[in-house]
Amino acid sequence: MENGDFWKQLKAQGPIFALAPMEDVTDTVFRELVLHVSAPEWLQVVYTEFTSTDGLCHPVGRDKVAKRLVVSQSERDLLRAKGVKIVAQIWGANPEKYHQATRWLCEAFEFDGIDINMGCPVRKIVKQGSCSALIGTPDLAREIVLATREASNLPVSVKTRTGVSQHRTEEWTRQILETGPAALVMHGRTQKQMSEVPADWDEIAKVVRVRDEMGLDIPIIGNGDVASVADGLDKIARHGVDGVMVGRGIFANPWFFNREKPERSPEQKLALLWKHATDFHKQWDGERNFAILRRFFKIYTHDFAGAAPIRAAMMETHGLEQVRQLILESPWAKALETEPV
């Protein structure tokens, strides 16, 4: 077992629930918010936004790119208090840059693991030969995993998809497991499918069978269309995976990682919105565009009478004071003084 390999420990305890790495979503502010309202038994692993190895190796651009890896002290304290692990996800197409970036990352930050993105299907990324393009270049993918593992004694996992234009799940699984990742996260769609079709969990089950046929103990995490903790537990039971990773499900419910979910009042939802906005302002004012928050405002302003008007108004805000004023003038003004739970 590699030094600090928490994946096998989590596998033994089971089941594993993880929050997926998402661009302009899983920054330190949102991760902390999710941690704040989650039950630790239903959330064990969180990820950074995916971070370019080219950027991390650039002497001038490194500081800007590295902001994706920031973990605030308050998030760090909450991670430790709840026993949740945090993984830095990186991407690129050059094994040497993976090696260099990983060494620097481990010196500059404190993470529990490193994850290699071999799943992002975005065209401009794929054109660079990175992320899901690596499914079509297994020799390069192997070099990348080995170079990353060599640069650190942190556990190195891989997140990927079942194929490029069609499923080649078993062949690709075998190729990537031969590199010895600490864990394998499999998204049940091909690159070409993006997120436009339902995730194929029968394909994910094939990953487990290949792992078992190879006589390995590597944790397999399934990803795609997990709607709730109960749904995740059902997928784990039916498909044999060791855990699930949750992506878009968090947008439907920021309290996702609470199996017993009482109905949240409008005040509680807007209290969480206000905490998110104030924490974002405190962490990123002048460094990240406030408009990023608008995608999150939709999460908190739905499923209650009168939600539509305040949601529409929130989508026009440009700063913290406008958000505060909207809540203050709403029927739920006491949300400004309500502790998010």
Mind listing the pLDDT tens digit for each residue in 127-180?
999 999 999 999 999 999 999 999 999 999 999 999 999 999 999 999 999 999
Q: How confident is the model at residue 286 (pLDDT cuts 50, 70, 90)?
A: confident
Percent of the chain clearing pLDDT 90 (strictly above):
92
Q: What is the per-residue pLDDT for 261?
A: 66
Q: What is the per-residue pLDDT for 262?
A: 73
Q: What is the per-residue pLDDT for 1?
A: 37
Q: What is the per-residue pLDDT for 4?
A: 57
Q: How confident is the model at residue 61 (pLDDT cuts 50, 70, 90)?
A: confident
Q: Looking at the annotation, which residues are catalytic?
A: 120
Taking the C-alpha atoms of residue 291 and residue 314, their distance in angstroms, rounded to an integer, is 10
pLDDT, average across residues 85-95: 98
Strand (E) or helix (H) holding 115: strand 113-118
Going from the N-terminus, what domains does the chain have, and what CATH number goes with each? 6-252 (3.20.20.70), 266-337 (no CATH)
Across the chain, mean pLDDT equals: 95
Cβ partners under 8 Å of residue 310, min gap 6: 270, 301, 326, 327, 330
Q: Can you list the alpha helix ranges (DSSP code H) found in the chain?
A: 6-13, 28-37, 53-56, 62-65, 73-82, 95-108, 123-126, 138-151, 169-177, 201-213, 229-239, 249-252, 266-284, 294-300, 307-314, 320-328
